[in-house]
Amino acid sequence: MLDFSHERKKSGCKNISCRLLLLFLLFTSCFGEAPGPSQCLLEPEHRFDCAPEKTLNKDECEGRGCCYLTASDTSDLKQPSCYYPTNYPSYKAVNVTSTETGYCATLLRSTKTFMPKDLMELQLEVFFETDSRLHFTIKNPNENRYEVPIETPPRVRSQPSTMQYDVKIITDPFGLIISRKSTGQILLNTTMAPLLFAEQFIQISTGLSSNFLYGLGEHLTSLNLDLNWTTLTFWNRGLVPRKDTNMYGTHPFYLAMEKDGLAHGVFLLNSNAMDIILQPAPALTWRTIGGILDFYVFLGPEPKTVIKQYQDVIGYPFMPPYWGLGFHLCRWGYPSSNMTREVVKKMRDSQIPLDVQWHDIDYMDKFLDFTYDPDNYGDFPEMVHEFHEMGMKYVLILEPALGLPQPGRTYLPYDDGLRRGIYVTNETGQPLVGKVWPGLSVFVDFTNPEAHQWWYEMLKEFHDRVLFDGVWIDKNEPANHGYGSVDNCPDNTLENPPYVPKVVGDVLQAKTICASSHHHLSSHYNLHNIYGLTQAIASYNAMMKITGKRPFVISRSTFSGHGRYAGHWTGDIRSTWEYLYYSIPAILLFNIYGAPLVGTDICGFLGNATEELCVRWHQVGAFYPFMRNHNTHDATAQEPYVFSKESQKAIRKVVLRRYMLLPYLYTLFHKAHTSGDTVARPLFVEFPSDRNTWTIDRQFLWGEALYITPVLEQGKTEVKGYFPSGVWYDLVTGAGLESKGEWFTLPTPLDAINTHIRGGYIIPAQRPGMTTEETRKNDLRLLVALSADGSAQGDLYWDDGDSLDTYKKGDYSMILFKAQNKVLVNEILHINGEAEKLTLDYVAVCGVHAPPSKVLVNGAAWEDFKYMPGTKLLKIEKLSLPIGKKFEIKWS
């Protein structure tokens, strides 16, 4: 939750006295003399850019005290031609002191840099927060600077008794070296390049433990980041995703693999505009234009543990309602309520499950929030009621920009917001005006507590008229169709800082609001990247209060900690095979960021999806944690029913498979919510000791047990997939595939997607229906995948699907399933409520190597079983066993 009081954290480190500071600061105003040849003898990959803000010629570069190489002297145009020498002036650490919680030191600079308003004195504080989490800050001790106002763990009062890390402070020039105690592996080393800290420019660099780096989103990227002089820019922006650009979200966290298979993570809690530069040393440089340096280092040592430790800081994900895991359908281009009804009818006629119907901005009256078109959507409330009668839910779009009322008309939400002072303001104190869908628009300031109350009241009043079930918040970077403001932005250093990260449009105001505009908490310059998060928090809290149930919020703009309040879809992607591939690393990375309810617009949003692409995309999308088909108004229709009977059959088949697996998926979300697990999971997270998995992003897991290998290329009817060591069973046939860590070619006709259960696991499933409401009433199934030694284990979390805090209140059931020595049993860990109504109807056991002569259920002979010798699959049917009572199934 945001800390609206914005209180500064108390320091445990005293500043050096003014007298000592004055004695030390006998500096000159120059940058220093040109370096000698020996200070410039650096390998290309170890050169750190000394001209971040502009291109310099030789004289200008050397005038900064840096080394210069002409283009002909470099083998790679991406390498910096102007770079820091080994003796470039930096800070010196003095007064290094041990404290009850770590270390503190004063950092002093004697020579100015090329950036204006250098801070000549800084304060370092190092906090040993847990045995596996280190926290350190570098800030101005003499003046408060902006700090990100999100809730983080309270400061510790004493050091942990044991620590996985060693910390070394290098005094002159200053550097911080953090290493893993057990192996000596250096995890963070800031001595690689000088520290710069000016009023509007902060730069710090580190070496990396290997070339295998993940995170630092949101960007259109493969799972494993490219370290070949790649710049990743953070300044939330609404645009069609493309490579090498800033996108909708900011997550300055990375997970790094070490050469021995261990892992660690680093998080910079800073919301200002930022560039992160990756270079093949391997090394990384952070450049941000405000705030402080506020770092967390997570020691893991496994990737799973690193992700959990990161979420210990930013918060665990919210628990979605069960219906939120069904199939969602939307389009910008449903011009009336009657057409929307027709869409739902055609989906039901095609017998493809559909849980949630959505609307884009079509339903609004002149694109105004909290309104609906009286002509084309005059029976809007009745339409939503009809969907509810069908067992469906309804979600609508809302945006943070409110249109100004037209002359002679009133618009009560705007008028009330104006009266309460809840809009972002310009330099004169008036609401800043931009242009969005309604035309001239103002922007709600969600850092203002009064805006949260106003947002709740507006949602409540509209919900009283239209019983929508969830909220889709869009264009909340915030997006503006112009630059800054219709009245232009002032000419000041916030609008034109000395360093502008490599944002699309080259200026901070590009397609958003003025950087110097005012929020309740600070300037937009500081708060831009958390704007979407503040709206997500307001929406989550409002919907929880309105419905008394779990909120369902999907947002485009995100920041670290977003997953506590909302899910995410990956924006306005194109309908191409390339974007189908990129959807996989996107959902995997957001799971690493602690936002597991994530998906991509199935079939793509922009452009015309071919039938083959749309079938393949539904097959992948059925395994997105959040599954929605959505496209734009000027593209051809892509609802499943518009395609051929064969394609409809293929889509129906995979959507039914998703609905069958919902008990397993829901259990995974419970584990994410309570312990920071991932739902969609990269292979390297589950198999970190297998280096072959470290770059795989065309296959992925659900949890530990379900493995998805899709077709991602046009015209392909087979796919090559890697299988880590073990036995894997085809989800449909039960056929086993034994691997020693090998690649296999799998036949994949157009109506199929390869899904395998990992040996040693049990997946709870259910007979699918047309909605989650219908499915939840059906009998359970258990899919048992035996390991090589004949054992397996799994579990089921079950509650009513939408009540608040069911786990905390004990209103849930947790059941463990175990198979060993040809016996399957359940262990009831906790039983309450809904699960007592469930019965187990069917068990499939994969890996039964000899035909059983008999099956016993609770000691009695059972005749309803079948054995498939070709696939070694045992099916036990018609069980009707209450899931809330102990059972035992034997075969021999």
Annotation says 147 is catalytic: no
Domain 323-400+449-480+524-667 has CATH 3.20.20.80: yes
Give yes or no for residue 16 having a pLDDT over 50: no
Query: Residues 605-656: pLDDT tens digits?
Result: 999 999 999 999 999 999 999 999 999 999 999 999 999 999 999 999 999 9
- Per-residue pLDDT, averaged over 118-126, amounts to 98
CB atoms within 10 A of CB 59: 9
Split at pLDDT 50, 70, 90, the class of 5 is very low
With beta carbons less than 8 A apart as the criterion, state whether 601 and 634 touch.
Answer: no
In the predicted model, what is the mean pLDDT of the chain? 95
Give yes or no for residue 23 having a pLDDT over 60: no
Query: Residues 785-823: pLDDT tens digits?
Result: 999 999 999 999 999 999 999 999 999 999 999 999 999
d(CA 100, CA 158): 5
Going by the DSSP 8-state scheme, the letter that residue 35 receives in this structure is P
- Per-residue pLDDT, averaged over 732-753, amounts to 98
Query: Residues 68-101: pLDDT tens digits?
Result: 997 666 556 789 999 999 999 999 999 999 999 9
With beta carbons less than 8 A apart as the criterion, state whether 404 and 366 touch.
Answer: no
Domain assignments of the chain as residue spans, ordered by start: 18-27+89-141+165-179+186-314, 37-83, 323-400+449-480+524-667, 761-891
Which one is catalytic: 121, 399, 469, 474? 474
Arch. (CATH architecture) of 18-27+89-141+165-179+186-314: Sandwich (2.60)
Query: Residues 849-890: pLDDT tens digits?
Result: 999 999 999 999 999 999 999 999 999 999 999 999 999 999
With beta carbons less than 8 A apart as the criterion, state whether 283 and 206 touch.
Answer: yes
Arch. (CATH architecture) of 761-891: Sandwich (2.60)
Split at pLDDT 50, 70, 90, the class of 35 is confident
Nearest Cα residue to 436 out of 462, 402, 469: 402
What does the block give as tokens for 701?
């897991």
Give yes or no for residue 31 having a pLDDT over 80: no
Annotation says 427 is catalytic: no
367: left (phi over 0), alpha (psi -120 to 50) or beta: left
d(CA 564, CA 34): 51
d(CA 699, CA 708): 6
Give yes or no for residue 10 having a pLDDT over 90: no
Query: Residues 229-267: pLDDT tens digits?
Result: 999 999 999 999 999 999 999 999 999 999 999 999 999
Backbone angles phi, psi at 339, to 5 degrees: -65, -35
DSSP per residue over 338-398, as a string? HHHHHHHHHHHHTT----EEEE-GGGSBTTBTT---TTTSTTHHHHHHHHHHTT-EEEEEE
d(CA 254, CA 278): 12
Report pLDDT for 9: 43
Identify the CATH assignment for 37-83 out of 1.10.8.50, 3.40.50.620, 3.40.1170.60, 4.10.110.10.
Answer: 4.10.110.10
d(CA 263, CA 265): 7
Does the fold of domain 323-400+449-480+524-667 match that of domain 37-83? no
Can you give 704-744 as a three-state secondary structure string? CCEEEECCCCCCCCEEEEEECCEEEEECCCCCEEEECCEEE
Report pLDDT for 773: 97
With beta carbons less than 8 A apart as the criterion, state whether 154 and 173 touch.
Answer: no
| Residues 6+ away with beta carbon under 8 Å from 389 | none
Report pLDDT for 78: 84
User: CA of 409: how far to CAs of 41, 405, 443, 444, in Å?
Assistant: 71, 6, 20, 21
Which one is catalytic: 477, 601, 704, 795? 477
d(CA 684, CA 387): 42
- Per-residue pLDDT, averaged over 310-320, amounts to 98
Helix (H, G, I), strand (E, B) or coil at 846: strand
